[in-house]
């Protein structure tokens, strides 16, 4: 019998790409999503890419009774938890929404996994837990810094909830994957990122500027202490990131980790500046982006990139797609969206 995996938030950006890679790797998938910040079209995209009828349940993980019914209905042993609110700025304005949503849904998940004896939990964490690191690149041993937003704080708190729960429940295993900056889209252009309103993240703003939806990209600061003055990030292709989940899941199912709770960085190991990303996008797609230098954005970290060697070694996972391929896929997806809207 096939192994089934619950994917909460599976209609979202990273969740939908992960669902595809899970199916490609031979798993069955159940997608649960409340569609609060996602679209059923993503589930349709996953179905089209894989040619499979994937069960979808519109469930809010904060609704414990409804969530419990899903556990009664499906025989999964593992869950990947993506369902969460993710806008840093919004979390500063509406902290209670973030604490309520991100913590309640995760507490419900961990409790139900315990109660139903479902042993494996994979949690979507973020490099935001490192704050502004003193040394680059960051390893899993780099100390976490106090969170600078309620969003970041929920990531830290959920990591701790998972660590402490796993310690207390001998049958359980957990992995937190600390994502760097996920970008790009599936090469089929059938799934990708769906920003609502004005994009807050760099690459969706770039693709929308290229498409003429936005007039001009603002580059937030060019006077940072970096080679070209703009901030540095580790941009990880969303398909590579999705595959890291499959590798981590195999590790838990095979009980390969010496510890029952583990943390892995998921990045490329390469720092790329904002200007490099914009120039790379222009080159990969043979077009020009209208941009201007704007004041720094409050709260931005100057530079952060991953040391992914632990994931490389222990998960047998590597980022494979080139930045050019990724930037090309992002543009293909934007073009697909524009056609869909017309
Ligand atoms: N950025 C920018 N213009 C934008 C959006 C982002 O210059 O319209 C910069 C931002 O200041 C940061 C980098 O792009 O240095 C990545 O920002 P993003 O919000 O995508 O990710 P995060 O800040 O969470 O790493």
**For the CA of 274, the nearest atom of ligand 1:** 14
Output the CA 97–ligand 1 centroid distance in Å. Answer: 23
User: Which residues does the chain have with pLDDT short of 70?
Assistant: none
Ligand 1 mutation pick, 179, 208, 216, 274, max ligand atoms within 8 A of CB: 274
| Whether residue 202 has its Cβ less than 6 Å from ligand 1 | yes
* Dist CA 18 CA 93 (whole Å): 30
pTM of the model: 0.98
Output the CA 202–ligand 1 centroid distance in Å. Answer: 5
Output the CA 292–ligand 1 centroid distance in Å. Answer: 14
pLDDT at 315: 98
Q: How many CA atoms lie within 13 A of 299 on its CB side?
A: 11
| Whether residue 233 has its Cβ less than 6 Å from ligand 1 | yes
Q: Which of 150, 156, 178, 177 is nearest to 305 (CA)?
A: 178
Q: What residue owns the CA closest to ligand 1's atom 5?
A: 202
pLDDT at 133: 93
| Whether residue 181 has its Cβ less than 6 Å from ligand 1 | yes
pLDDT at 3: 95
Catalytic residues, by residue number, are: 151
Q: Say if residues 176 and 271 touch (Cβ distance below 8 Å).
A: no
Q: Would you call 123 helix, strand, or coil by DSSP?
A: strand
* Dist CA 311 CA 334 (whole Å): 31
**For the CA of 217, the nearest atom of ligand 1:** 8
Ligand 1 mutation pick, 148, 152, 180, 201, max ligand atoms within 8 A of CB: 201
* Dist CA 273 CA 100 (whole Å): 34
Q: Which of 178, 105, 121, 176 is nearest to 6 (CA)?
A: 121
């Amino acid at each position: 019998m096939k192994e089934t995996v619950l994917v909460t938030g599976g209609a979202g950006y990273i969740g939908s790409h992960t669902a595809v890679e899970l199916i490609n790797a031979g798993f069955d998938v159940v997608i649960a999503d409340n569609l609060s910040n996602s679209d059923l079209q993503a589930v349709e995209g996953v179905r089209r890419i894989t040619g499979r009828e994937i069960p979808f349940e519109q469930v809010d993980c904060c609704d414990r009774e409804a969530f419990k019914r899903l556990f009664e209905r499906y025989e999964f042993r593992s869950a990947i938890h993506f369902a969460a609110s993710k806008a840093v700025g919004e979390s500063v304005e509406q902290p209670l929404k973030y604490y309520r949503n991100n913590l309640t849904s995760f507490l419900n998940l961990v409790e139900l996994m315990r109660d139903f004896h479902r042993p494996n939990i994979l949690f979507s964490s973020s490099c935001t837990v490192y704050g502004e690191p003193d040394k680059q690149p960051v390893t899993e041993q780099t100390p976490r810094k106090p969170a600078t937003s309620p969003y970041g704080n929920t990531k830290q708190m959920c990591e701790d909830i998972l660590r402490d729960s796993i310690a207390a429940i001998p049958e359980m295993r957990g992995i937190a994957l600390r994502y760097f900056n996920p970008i790009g889209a599936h090469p089929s252009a059938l799934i990708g990122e769906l920003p609502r309103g004005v994009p807050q993240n760099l690459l969706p703003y770039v693709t929308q500027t290229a498409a003429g939806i936005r007039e001009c990209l603002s580059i937030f600061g060019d006077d940072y202490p970096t080679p070209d003055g703009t901030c540095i990030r580790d941009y990880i292709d969303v398909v590579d990131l999705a595959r890291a989940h499959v590798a981590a899941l195999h590790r838990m199912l095979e009980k390969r980790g010496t510890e029952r709770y583990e943390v892995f960085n998921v990045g490329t190991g390469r720092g790329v500046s904002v200007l490099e990303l914009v120039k790379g996008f222009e080159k990969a797609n043979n077009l020009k982006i209208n941009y201007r230098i704007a004041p720094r954005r409050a709260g931005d970290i100057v530079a952060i990139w991953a040391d992914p060697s632990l994931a490389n070694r222990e998960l047998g996972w590597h980022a494979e797609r080139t930045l050019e391929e990724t930037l090309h896929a992002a543009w293909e997806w934007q073009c697909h969206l524009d056609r869909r809207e017309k």
